[in-house]
Amino acid sequence: MACIPRTSVVRSLKVNDTGYASAVFIGDLVDFSPVTYVFAVQREIPVFYGDEGHLSAYPIYSAPLPIGRQEPAVQMDVTNTCPFICAGDVRVIAISSASMVQFGSVRSIRADTRVKNIRQLLRGLPPK
């Protein structure tokens, strides 16, 4: 896909929080490929053994990503009547886990977030 670059104009942008392989882009971008792997263990009693968190023990982190169906190529002509991409006042509360906010053109995005949550809760009466 060939894009004619345009100028991105943003009057104001307020982002409260950007984390974990996320980004804010103002302008054109060729490729964006953020990756986030999360291993979260929640225990009712916080005990840590020190040898936890080997991602290779969980297939979620090594399984191939499904690839979307490839549609036939579409021929199209785009005429941008204005050489600017304009945005007024933008407020973003949070951007997280392999995501983005962008004002401009992008050729391809391949975002990958894999999360494994483990909850270890007590059964029966809690210890004294």
pLDDT in tens, 74-116: 888 878 888 888 999 999 999 999 999 999 888 888 899 999 9
Beta strands in 1-128 (DSSP E): 7-15, 23-26, 29-32, 35-43, 84-92, 100-103, 106-109, 112-120
104 vs 1, more confident: 104
Q: Which of 68, 80, 127 is nearest to 105 (CA)?
A: 80
* pLDDT over threshold 60, residue 68: yes
pLDDT digits over 15-44, tens only? 999 988 999 999 888 999 999 999 988 888
Q: Which two tokens stand for residue 3?
A: 């894009």
User: Is the distance from CB of 84 to CB of 8 less than 8 angstroms?
Assistant: yes
